[in-house]
Amino acid sequence: MFILFASTKQMTTANRKLKEKEELKALILDSAKKLFLIKGVEQTTIRSIAQHIDYSVGTVYVYFKDKNAILNELHIQGFAQLSIQFEVLRHVANPMERLIAMGRLYIEFAMANPEMYELMFTLKAPMEALNEADDEEWKQGINAFTFLKATVLECISTGHFKGHQPDALTFMIWSLVHGMCSLHISNRITGVRLDNAAGMVPAGFEEFILILKKL
Amino acid sequence: MFILFASTKQMTTANRKLKEKEELKALILDSAKKLFLIKGVEQTTIRSIAQHIDYSVGTVYVYFKDKNAILNELHIQGFAQLSIQFEVLRHVANPMERLIAMGRLYIEFAMANPEMYELMFTLKAPMEALNEADDEEWKQGINAFTFLKATVLECISTGHFKGHQPDALTFMIWSLVHGMCSLHISNRITGVRLDNAAGMVPAGFEEFILILKKL
DNA sequence: AAATAAAATGAACATTGTTCATTAAATGAA
DNA sequence: TTCATTTAATGAACAATGTTCATTTTATTT
């Protein structure tokens, strides 16, 4: 795809337009994010997004193929956010400590941003969207998992987790933390009459830490 | 609510009508279950259910308040099914073995009935329906959790899990198994490029067993 | 200023869950 | 059997939603 400019002036207006398009796209995304953090994904309609930014319904569809495309971008934003929170882990030299700190941060993120967490790790739509665009893969997820796995491998190389398979063990650790967050978000903890539902997740993680430290 | 019968004949016809109502209700449920095991919960419409059993849309609403009421009944059926699969555990005397066997059965159930599993442990609708009917609680979930906890307690009383809190530990174990199933069902395992996605869940559980046996 | 291109619009459509006045069927009394 | 009454079933109609697209508006270029 080629765009030819006859003059500098044309180029700058084209650049401005590009910028404006980016801005409106970002505006739609911000609005969508804000709304579904309050109302939830299902309750956030294209109409409500449009209304919120004083544009028509059709305009939203000029900038996004469909609702899933919006969810997809927010899904990516969520991983960017988590990745930023993970930054501090770079300063934790001891891999075992880092592993535990990572778990804590993961849980913190999930509890603070349940809707975002669901979008990232539970809802099927984002994964299906990836399958459709066939050269696309779930880079965000792969990155996060790779980071976790690298830490597990470091733990192994410092003498921990003897006799364990790295892949399966990494997956198991992820599952444990995800499972707690998932059960919390889907209201199964209160459902099962465990008091202090919010406190149960850290408590469960503490049990796991006790176990980890022995390995 | 009182129903008075003037004769035996009236009583029997009334009984027959009750039975017929039950049957049609069950027919709707069966159809709904069949459809959403194939199409998924969202894709199963009231119209498709009605069409499938050659009744009108309105009839479905005579027998069920709304779509959530149908999901709710299926939710209960799912727990009944899981509970039946758990029956064999009664014959496992050793609590540690029973705990492990329970995990395997849980995983088996989730992998074999992913849609049902989602309904039971992920979808929010059934929990919200419980909140509305205020004297109702999540009996199925409580039962299953209590069963798990009892086994954990037995393990403790036979010398395992020293220094652990029963509630938190039970929740942690549940979370681990649930997390693996949940990540599998939401396609996050394939997403993260772990080959043999279906095999990764048992593999992860094997890692956990290794750990458990040391405790 | 006119022609062209780009962007925004909102009416219209299809699909959903849901309601409810109407119709049909079954029942019980006379 | 007949007919009034109760019960069950119906499907047209409504509101809400995602989505499309011919039309209008705005911006840009000539």
Average pLDDT over residues A9-23: 76
Question: Do A47 and A99 have their domain in common?
Answer: no
Query: Could you say which DSSP state residue B159 is in?
Result: T
Whether residues A141 and A170 share a domain: the answer is yes
Handedness of CA A19, A21, A24, A30 (dihedral sign): negative
Asked if the C-beta of B164 comes within 8 angstroms of chain A's C-beta atoms, the answer is yes
**pLDDT tens, per residue, chain B with 215 residues:** 444 455 565 556 667 768 889 999 999 999 999 999 999 999 999 999 999 999 999 999 999 999 999 999 999 999 999 999 999 999 999 999 999 999 999 999 999 999 999 999 999 999 988 877 767 889 999 999 999 999 999 999 999 999 999 999 999 999 999 999 999 999 999 999 887 888 999 999 999 999 999 88
d(CA A94, CA B105): 37
Which residue's structure tokens are 């050793």?
Answer: B94
Same domain for B181 and B199? yes
Question: Once rounded to an integer, what is the mean pLDDT over residues A158-179?
Answer: 97
Residue with tokens 């990540």: B183
- Domain of residue A56 covers 10-64
CA separation for the pair B133, A210 (Å, rounded): 40
Q: Coil, strand or helix: which one is B59?
A: helix
For residue B129, the number of C-alpha atoms closer than 13 Å in the C-beta half-sphere is 19
A178 touches strand D (CB under 7 A): no
pLDDT at A15 over 80: no
User: From the list A127, A189, A211, which residue is nearest B215 (CB)?
Assistant: A211
Residues A116 and A163 in one domain: yes
Contact predicate B49/B35, CB 8 Å: yes
Q: Mark whether A188 and A129 lie in a shared domain.
A: yes
pLDDT of A19 reads 87
Q: For tokens 């390995």, what's the residue? A: A215
- Which CATH number fits the domain that encloses residue A26? 1.10.10.60
Whether chain B has a CB inside 8 Å of the CB on A95: the answer is: no
Query: Can you read off the two tokens belonging to residue B123?
Result: 């979808």
Measure the N-to-C terminal CA separation of chain A; round to a whole number of Å: 56
Question: Given A64, A85, A107, which residue is the final one in a domain?
Answer: A64
Q: Once rounded to an integer, what is the mean pLDDT over residues A181-200? A: 92
Q: Are A77 and A32 contacting, i.e. CB atoms less than 8 angstroms apart?
A: no
- Are B31 and B79 in a shared domain? no
Closest CA to B146 of A191, A204, A187: A191
Q: Check if B183 contacts A (Cβ < 8 Å).
A: yes
Q: Are B206 and B161 in the same domain?
A: yes
Structure confidence by residue, pLDDT tens digits, B10-52: 556 667 768 889 999 999 999 999 999 999 999 999 999 999 9
Q: Both A89 and A148 in a single domain?
A: yes
Q: Which chain B residues are closer than 8 Å to A128 by Cβ? A: 187
* A2: in domain: no
Q: Give the gyration radius of chain B's Cα atoms.
A: 21
**What 3-state class would DSSP assign to A42?**
coil
The pair of three-digit structure tokens given for residue A67, joined into one six-digit string: 């609702």
Tens digits of per-residue pLDDT, A88-145? Answer: 999 999 999 999 999 999 999 999 999 999 999 999 999 988 877 767 889 999 999 9
Q: Is residue B172 part of a domain?
A: yes
Treating both helix axes as pointing N-terminal to C-terminal, what angle do B166-185 and A166-185 enclose, rounded to 10 degrees? Answer: 100
- Assigned domain for B55 exists: yes
Q: Which residue is nearest to nucleotide D12 (CA to C1')?
A: B58
Look at residue A4 and tell me if it is in a domain. no
Task: Please indicate, yes or no, if residue B2 is contained in any of the structural domains.
Answer: no
Query: Shortest Cα distance from A58 to chain B (angstroms)?
Result: 25
Asked whether residue B1 is domain-assigned, the answer is no
- Which residue among B64, B85, B109 closes a domain? B64
Tokens coding B187: 């396609």
Do B100 and B174 fall into the same domain?
A: yes
A169 vs A5: CA distance, rounded Å: 56
Complete DSSP assignment for chain A: -----SSHHHHHHHHHHHHHHHHHHHHHHHHHHHHHHHH-TTT--HHHHHHHTT--HHHHHHH-SSHHHHHHHHHHHHHHHHHHHHGGGGG--SHHHHHHHHHHHHHHHHHH-HHHHHHHHT-SHHHHHHHHSTT---HHHHHHHHHHHHHHHHHHHTT-STT--HHHHHHHHHHHHHHHHHHHHTTHHHHTT-SSHHHHHHHHHHHHHHHHHH-
Res A16: pLDDT: 77
pLDDT, position A186: 96
Interface contacts (A, B; CB < 8 Å): 152
- Please check whether residue A135 lies inside any domain of the structure: yes
Is B192 within 8 Å of chain A by CB?
yes
CA-based nearest residue to B86, from B100, B116, B106: B106
Which tens digits make up the pLDDT trace of A51-75?
A: 999 999 999 999 999 999 999 999 9
- Residue A50 sits in the same domain as residue A131: no
Burial A56-71 (b: 16+ CB within 10 A, else e): eeeebeebbeebbebb
| Residue A3 pLDDT grade (very low, low, confident, very high; cuts 50, 70, 90) | very low
One domain, residues B11 and B38 = yes
The CATH code of the domain that includes B132 is: 1.10.357.10
Q: How many domains does chain B have?
A: 2
Q: Pick the residue with more confidence: A134 or A10?
A: A134
Q: Name the 3-class secondary structure at B160.
A: coil
The rounded distance, in Å, linking the Cα atoms of A164 and A30 is: 43
Q: Are residues B194 and B94 part of one domain?
A: yes
Q: What does the alpha-carbon distance between residue A59 and residue A70 come to, in Å, rounded to a whole number? A: 13
Q: What was the ipTM of the complex prediction?
A: 0.92
Residue A3 located in a structural domain: no
Of A24, A39, A64, the residue at which a domain comes to its end is A64
Amino acid symbol at A105: L
**How many contiguous H segments (helices) and E segments (strands) does chain B have?**
11, 0
> How far is C-alpha A127 from the geometric centre of its chain's CA atoms?
12
In chain A, residues 133 through 162 whose Cβ sits under 7 angstroms from any atom of nucleic acid strand D? none
